Chains A and B, each alone.
Chain A
Amino acid sequence: MEISLTVNGDTQSADVEPRTLLVHFLRDQLGLTGTNIGCDTSSCGACTILVDGQSAKSCNLLAVQADGAEITTIEGLAGADGLHPMQQAFHESHALQCGYCTPGMVMASISLVEEYPNLDADGVREGLEGNLCRCTGYQNIVKAVLSVKK
């Protein structure tokens, strides 16, 4: 099927097999491999991207469902002026170790802060429940997200 969508500001048109997962489309067809796959049950959140500004698990969408959507992946955040504030906060708070969950965690955090600007630490923890990290124990991730909020 033909789909047309905007990814990180660029218009993309492609022919996709109807069963293609959005995450595989982004990774395998567009070469945007920053979005990772950590599970097959939409439990881990490693594949989180922004679809029309809201966080979504891209393993849980078909590419054809994204027809007409505006998508932002981790590759779309940093610009000539450096890292996105959330990426910078993760860096400064040591909120990543192996980095595999990080793109999804950063995207989910951006969306969370956007939607709920006044969250406290407990709110951040609840808000990131769908994004698993095995390395950091979350403490520094929460710290990073709270620092951006301020």
Chain B
Amino acid sequence: MDIRIVGVSKAFGRTGALRGLDLEISAGELIALLGPSGSGKTTLLRVIAGLEFPDTGQVYFGNEDATGLAVQERQIGFVFQHYALFKHMTVFDNIAYGLRVRRRGTATEIAARVGELLELVQLTDFAARHPRQLSGGQRQRVALARALAVDPRVLLLDEPFGALDAKIRRDLRRWLRELHDRTGHTTVFVTHDQEEAIELADRVAILNGGRIEQVGTADDIYDRPATAFVMSFVGDTSAIPVGFDGHRPSFEGRAFDTCLLGPHRGPGLFYVRPRDVEVTAPEAAAITGKVRTVHRTATGLRTQISPGTTDTLIEIELDSSAKVKAGSQVGLRFLRGRLFGVRG
């Protein structure tokens, strides 16, 4: 089921509002809505579900205008952040709830369908348990089975792994990907974890301030960020203000050589990834900086350097053998970076 969101706006107190947002989701796709808190990603998910109604704009399910449809009529599956399992019901009754409400067959048929779903989420032996007797990961899977029970046209997940610890999170992530590949539901999930979005999703939509900044594959958003926000939000970056002399960017009046990515040529902010900066001897370098801090990490050294006379900090990754001391003066060479004009 294709989903099209056209010019959707939704005003809310202060955060989580949507401002004229467009998004197309293709059938069978697994797409992540990624953004900082208050960017509107959960609101967008709830608008698709029909739990919130937009002030303006349309939501299409296929060719059907679903904007005015009540949540019960949209036939969606929704997995809540904290699962919202019915505490007083067994796992079986939780999963059967939607089937019973929608009168999907006789008691035996419903039992058979619930059995299938329990098998799908590998919880066959847990049918008679109550939610409180399950671990976080198991609750998550019950919530998923419950959402899948009614054959949803689209599966919506709100921070599906937010409440789980790191190991279970990774396992469930892989499992959800496999499940998606097997069942082929159009799936939209919200996350604030970029690693999760990039690993799990076919495409990632990056939201900021109620708008979509970029939609694309992991490669697109990491290697070809459309905006300064995407550049700085996905992966580590540092930025310095630069001028432009027609060929090369310049920092504090001194032009420097670098491989410029992206379309923008002109003054603005120069963004660079930590692994794209080299430390050289200060004498011959166009840009020098003072080493502020040096930390040992699992893989090497991480140092913060303030270039020129600024207080801006540039993050750099170095080999553990590098001889860099806090307080010393070093030269900086930017292998590649990306220029963005300053907004407004």
Partners in one complex: no
Interface on A for B, CB 8 Å cutoff?
A: none
Interface on B for A, CB 8 Å cutoff?
A: none
